[in-house]
Amino acid sequence: MRNPPAAVYYRPMCCCGFFAPPPHARLVPLEEAEPYNRGNPYIHTGYRVRYDLKLTLRSLLFLHNEWANVWTHLSALIGFFFLMFYAYSTWLADGTFSDKAMFLIWVISAQTLLFSSSFFHLTECMGPKVWLIGVRMDYTSISVLIVGSYFPMIHYLFACHSGWQYFYIGLMLALGVLVISISMSNYFQKPEFQALRASLYVFMGLFGALCAPHVYFLSSSEELAGLVPVCIRLALMGGTYIVGAYIYATKIPEKWFPGKFDYWWHSHMIWHIFVVAATMWHYSAVYHAHEWRTNFPCTS
């Protein structure tokens, strides 16, 4: 009978040893990881296997190859609560009910993604059933964020044309349901379809660009000039998502240096940082769209 692999320990994150892994917290190499956790062959070490709930929660405080993935989005989740209260107490303080509701929809969609992502990366070590729940939450929440991101923009850009508001919001909801249905299927959850899933999310994000020509024809030259700050930030947001998705799908940089980015600055960590950066660009775009609509109210 083969002896179980020895526990693998790493330097604690604090000199006092407070964040050292407990003696029974085993971190194993790729070959001994669960099959469903071997989606990235360039991450060689630091896998948690069959942790119970208590040890899983404790793994928030010691280093493993999902630690950065958990905290990049968990810290952003906490930050978004403060950002929401800041917006409601400053530039949205005098906004209409619709302004506040649309902003809240976007914030909730962003927090849904950040929570689902953190939950998945924290609990994926608890067994296949928990892993499946987490991965489905993670995939679904990406579509939720993309759809939710369109609500405040459509609200402001088509504020004077309620029929088109409903049309575009309904269109994005239908597309979101379609992408969720595809990404939730067991067939498309296989690691070899990672690039396809990333492409679907990029397509879904860019699909809303179809609104742009419509906004152009509905707006005056003065209104279009006022939209320049919004367009710049939306372009930066889209570019950030696309670059991040490309890094995620191509597994850069760990595929160039296998085993060298097991804990820090691997493609998934970079993707998470790009997602947070893109949501901040979107926040700025919503702020400027609110200012734009305030300066160009509906005339009837």
- Tens of pLDDT, residues 205-232: 777 777 888 998 998 999 999 999 999 9
What is the identity of the amino acid at 129? Answer: K
Q: Which residue has the tokens 């400053």?
A: 90
Percent of the chain with pLDDT over 90: 67
Instruction: Answer whether CATH 3.40.50 is correct for domain 65-295.
Output: no
Mean pLDDT calculated for residue range 139-145: 90
Q: Does residue 14 have a pLDDT over 70?
A: no
Q: How far is CA 88 from CA 97, 288, 289, 295, in A?
A: 11, 15, 15, 19
Measured in whole angstroms, the distance separating CA 200 from the mean position of its chain's CA atoms is 14
d(CA 288, CA 220): 18
Please report, for the chain, the start and end positions of each structural domain, with discontinuous segments joined by +: 65-295
Measured between alpha carbons, how far is residue 232 from residues 80, 158, 256 in Å?
22, 19, 33
Residue 220 is which amino acid? S
Confidence of residue 191 (pLDDT cuts 50, 70, 90): low
183 or 120: which carries more pLDDT confidence? Answer: 120
Check residue 200 and give its pLDDT. 77
Q: Is the dihedral of CA 194, 198, 203, 205 positive or negative?
A: positive
> Which tens digits make up the pLDDT trace of 83-116?
999 999 999 999 999 999 999 999 999 999 999 9
Prior bond of 29 cis (ω within 30°): no
Contact 142, 113 (CB under 8 A): yes
